[in-house]
Amino acid sequence: MSAKKLRTTIGLLPVLTAMTTIGALVSNASLTLYYVLPDFSVGEAATYVNPTVGDAYPGASTTFTVAAGSLPTGLSLDSSTGEITGTPTTAGAYSFSITASNNGETATQSFSTTVLSASTETSRSLLAAGNQARMQRFIEKCRSGDTVKIAAIGGSITQGSGASTTSKCYVSLFNTWVKSNFSCSTTLYNKGIGATSSDYGVFRAYRDIVSNEPDLVIVEFAVNDGSSGESTYGEPFEGLLRQLLKASSKPAVIVLFMTQTAYQGGQAWQSLIAANYDLPMVSYQNAVWPELQDGTIVSSDISSDGTHPNDAGHALVASFLEDLVSRAADAFPTGSTESDIPKVAVALKSTTFEFTNLYDGDDTDTSDLESIMTSQSGWTFTNADKDGDYQTVGAAYQSSTAGSTIDFAVEDGDIIYVSYEMANDGDYGEAEFTVDDSTSTTIDANFTTSGWGDYRAMASIGSMS
C-alpha cells in the first residue's frame, strides 16, 4: 500500500464453518398464542400484524380462526399464518377472539380494540410488533428485579446529536423510562457513532454490542444508509441483524426508522429485511412525515437542522419505543408463559456479513491493528489529525509522505474493508491498496465536489485469494 495523508483501520470478513446439532421435541406442551395489536385507523393498512406461537408441535401445521366476535370491518385473518391484513373502513370499538390450533392443542387470545377515525403520531409509529418471544424475555427480566442491559447502535441521531444534553437523547430517555416503568435497574450501552452506516456497524457489532450481552438492542441506520442505499448497505444491514439475533444473550431487537424532515431514509428496503426476521419495528418516519407534508408541524418543531431531532424530536422517538414495549407488556401479563424464541430465519439477501472481525485502533495504543501490521515505512500511529485535532476515525495509522508503505497480514478472510477519514479541505490525498498482489484499488479521501465535513468512510478493497 502506498499513501499520502491517509488514516486507515482495517475490517475483515472471515469465512467460518458453522456446526449444528439437531434435537427432536418428543412431547407437545400447551400451545401459546400472543398478538400485539397496533392502533388501527380508518384508511391505514394494517402491516406486519403477526402472531407469536409457542410450543407448536414440529411438523404439524398451525391454523387460525376467529373464534368469537368479528375483526374490524376491512380486516381479515389468514388461516394458515395468523397474519391480520387489510385496511379498516369503519371507526368504532370491536371485540373478538382468535384461536390457534396445532396437533390437537389450542390457544385463544381475546381482544378489545378501537379503530380510530384519524391516526395519531404514536399509532403510526408502530410499524410492526413482530414476534414477541424475545420481548417477553426482556419484560420478564425487567419484572424480576435483575439488572437489564439496554444497547443501541446507529449514527449521530442515536449518539444524541440535536439533543441539548445527553440525558435528553432518545436512548437515555427510553432507558430512564424502563427503569421507572418496571422499577428495575439498567446498564446502558449507547454505541451511536456519528456519520456511520451499517457497513461499519456490522464490523463493530460484536465489540460494541454483542460482547456486552444485552437484553434489548435498538438498531438505527435508516437515515445514514439512505433511501437508495440498499445495494451498498443491504447485506451489511442484514448481517448486523443476524449477529444480534444469534447473540448468546438472545436480546430483543428493535429496528428504528428515522427520517430527515425533507428526505425519507432507508425504511422502505430496511423494513423488508427486518420483516424477514419478524422483528419489532418503530417508524419515526411514519409518525411525523404526514404532518410535515400537510403543514401540521414544521421542521423546526422537531429538528435542529432537518436531520437530527431536537429535544422534542428525541422525546417523540423515546415515546414511540415506550409505546412498543408497553403494548408488549400489556399482552404478556405477569405470570404468563414465555413463548419459544424461533430459529433465526433464512437470510433474505445473504449471510456474507454474519461473521466479521474488526481490527481497530483505540485512543491509547495500536490495539488490534498492531497485531496484524507486519511492516511500514513512513507511517505513524496517532489519534490526532493533520491539524492536531482528534481525528474522526479515532486512533489510526497516517502518513504525510508520498510513497510511504504499510503492510498488514490477516488470515481466514474473504472480503476486506478499510475505514478512513474523509474530509473536504482538499489536503487528504489518495491511497493505493493491493490485496494478495491482486489488482489495486485507489481511494481518494477528499470530497471532490462537495461535503459537509470530516467523517468515517468505508470501502471494500478486494477479496483474499
Write out pLDDT tens, residues 326-350. Answer: 999 999 999 999 999 999 999 999 9
Write out pLDDT tens, residues 125-156. Answer: 999 999 999 999 999 999 999 999 999 999 99
Domain ranges of the chain: 2-16+355-463, 28-119, 120-349
Q: In terms of pTM, does the model score above 0.85?
A: no
Which residues neighbour 326 within 8 Å (Cβ) at sequence distance 6 or greater? Answer: 181
Q: Where does 120-349 sit in CATH, by number?
A: 3.40.50.1110
Distances (CA, A) of 334 to 50, 97, 135: 22, 21, 14
Average model confidence (pLDDT) for the chain?
A: 87
DSSP labels, 123-136: HHHEEE----HHHH
Q: Of 279, 461, 245, whose CA–CA distance to 351 is shortest?
A: 245
The CATH number of domain 28-119, selected from 2.60.40.10, 1.10.3720.10, 3.40.640.10, 1.10.540.10: 2.60.40.10
DSSP-derived letter for residue 393 is: T
pLDDT for position 24: 28
Which residues neighbour 317 within 8 Å (Cβ) at sequence distance 6 or greater? Answer: 170, 256, 258, 282, 284, 309
pLDDT for position 392: 64
pLDDT for position 384: 67
CA dihedral 12, 13, 19, 21 (to 10 degrees): 110
Write out pLDDT tens, residues 162-212. Answer: 999 999 999 999 999 999 999 999 999 999 999 899 999 999 999 999 999
DSSP-derived letter for residue 167 is: G
Q: Which three cell numbers stand for residue 255?
A: 429496528
Calculate ∠ Cα 137-138-143, nearest 5°: 95
Write out pLDDT tens, residues 99-126. Answer: 999 999 999 999 998 888 766 889 899 9
Ordered strands of the 75-77 beta sheet: 46-49, 84-86, 75-77
Helices (H), 190-307: 198-208, 222-225, 230-245, 267-276, 284-294, 299-302
Write out pLDDT tens, residues 221-245. Answer: 999 999 999 999 999 999 999 999 9
Q: Of 313, 252, 312, 240, whose CA–CA distance to 280 is shortest?
A: 252
Q: Residues 52, 33: contact at Cβ < 8 Å? A: yes
15/159 Cα distance (integer angstroms): 31
Question: Is beta strand 380-382 parallel, antiparallel or unpaired with respect to 216-220?
Answer: unpaired
Q: Span 66-78, mean pLDDT?
A: 95
Write out pLDDT tens, residues 27-47. Answer: 335 889 999 888 888 888 888
